[in-house]
Amino acid sequence: MSEDIFGLLHWSDCCIERRHYAYLLIDGALNEGQHRRLQVMGIRFTSLFEGTAEEHLPDVAPWLIELTGLALPQRQRLIQWASVLARKLPCLSWYESSGAIDDFARHLRHFHCVGLSDHQTMLMRWYDTRILPVWMEVLTGPQRALFTRGMQSVACVDADGAVRDLYASPTGQASGAAGVPDMPMLMLDDRQFALLLEARALDTLIHEIGLRAPGRWHRIAQARKLDFVARHRDAALCAGVKDSERQLYYVLLAVFTSGKAAQHPAVMALMQAPPEALPDFIDAIRQLPGEVFLTGEPLWMTEPIEDEAGGMA
């Protein structure tokens, strides 16, 4: 097996050439006790729980590690070890930043908690890579600019073991403590909170749809897929369809008709009293009038698609 399956060694070399720092962030909650391996390897890490109520739990903290300060053999060994973890669990993300490790860690700690609309606060595990892609999508423009301050790029290995490039800015806004509000730094509205709360469920739905749809589904912008799947899953929930299996078949019907089938009287009648057993629900969809399946084109036929270079086809 390759020692650098995600290209992190080359990436960190490029960061050094650009005179930036390269950081790995490992979610310790999914790798409890593994920080001792870092200590054995002689690799310094910084806990993002420092200065928080969870400071006494370094073994389950997110561990920030600077790659660019390591000798090449140490870097190779760390990358190999972290890559093995990432293939098993959604725990690894990486960041190019102009900020030194203490400043960068201080910046990231500001997002340990978020504010909610009911004046409550919630610990936000944004570094769990089932959540991180959704986190980057649901933040407003100003919120995303605040989070990515001092960053030139953000990427991760997602829950399916695939590399996801989540943010890129060649310059990046300078980091610094000036003008930083007290925690929580971000206030999430109800829609943002719901999407993050359901991040794993939505991610699973998108993945399952991808197994049943042509390759062009995967090239629809992630933000568009997230919004579309979330809206139709919400409709299924409102109809009392609370299990993921029946939700999948309802959302698939929407995906293959760009949402038009959901407005057909036969589908609306079905969702007024959806069968509770999965086989019965699937059978009811199959018995819908043929015109239902012709109400609209598949979503990938009606949406702009990203080409391989990241532009729009």
Cα atoms in the 13 Å half-sphere on the side-chain side of 231:
11
State the DSSP code for 61: S
Higher pLDDT, 146 or 179: 146
Same domain, 167 and 206: no
Q: Is the pLDDT score of 8 beyond 90?
A: yes
* Helix axes 199-212 and 190-197, enclosed angle (nearest 10): 60
What is the band of 172 on the pLDDT scale with cuts at 50, 70, 90?
low
Residue 312 lies in a domain: no
Check whether residue 151 and residue 32 sit in a common domain: yes
Checking if the pLDDT of 307 tops 50, the result is no
Which structural domain, as residue segments, surrounds residue 17? 8-188
Closest CA to 167 of 95, 228, 103, 107: 95
Q: Report pLDDT for 162.
A: 86
Provide the sign of the torsion angle of the four alpha carbons 189, 191, 194, 200, taken in this order: negative
Higher pLDDT, 191 or 64: 64
Where is the domain boundary, 188, 219, 241?
188
Does residue 311 belong to any structural domain of this protein?
A: no
The letter for the amino acid at 212 is R
* Token output for 197: 């709360």
* Among 146, 167, 188, residue at a domain's last position: 188
Query: Tokens 């960053």 belong to which residue?
Result: 151
Same domain? For 138 and 247 the reply is no
pLDDT band at 129 (very low <50, low <70, confident <90, very high): very high
Confidence of residue 183 (pLDDT cuts 50, 70, 90): low
Instruction: Indicate whether 170 and 212 sit together in one domain.
Output: no
Confidence of residue 305 (pLDDT cuts 50, 70, 90): low
pLDDT averaged over the chain?
88
Judgement on whether residues 80 and 213 belong to the same structural domain of the protein: no
Mean pLDDT of 130-144: 93
Asked whether residue 2 is domain-assigned, the answer is: no
Q: Are residues 22 and 133 in the same domain?
A: yes
pLDDT in tens, 62-115: 999 999 989 999 999 999 999 999 998 889 999 999 999 999 999 999 999 999
Sign of CA dihedral 296, 231, 195, 171: positive
Residue 17 domain-assigned (yes or no) = yes
Task: Note whether residue 310 is domain-resident.
Answer: no
Rounded (5°) CA angle 6-160-239: 150
Minimum mean pLDDT range among 56-70, 113-127, 163-177, 228-242 = 163-177
Query: Does residue 152 sit within a domain?
Result: yes
Same domain, 184 and 218: no
Q: DSSP alpha helices (H): ranges in the chain?
A: 8-17, 35-40, 72-88, 101-109, 132-138, 141-147, 190-197, 199-212, 222-238, 244-255, 265-272, 278-286, 299-302
Number of domains in the chain: 2
For 276-288, the pLDDT digits (tens) are: 999 999 999 999 9
Among 113-122, 185-194, 219-228, 264-273, which stretch is predicted with the lowest mean pLDDT? Answer: 219-228
Question: 235 pairs with which residues across the strands?
Answer: none
Is there a domain that residue 262 lies in? yes
pLDDT band at 177 (very low <50, low <70, confident <90, very high): very low
Its pTM stands at: 0.70
Phi-psi region of 38 (alpha: psi -120 to 50; beta: other; left: phi over 0): alpha
Cβ neighbours, 10 Å, residue 223: 13
Residue 127 belongs to a domain: yes
**In this predicted structure, what is the pLDDT of residue 293?**
96
Angstrom distance (rounded) from CA 91 to CA 63? 10
Q: Which residue has the higher pLDDT, 303 or 138?
A: 138
The 10s digit of each residue's pLDDT in 28-62 is 988 888 888 998 999 999 999 999 989 998 888 99
Q: Which of 123, 153, 188 is the last residue of a domain?
A: 188
Same domain for 161 and 15, yes or no, is yes
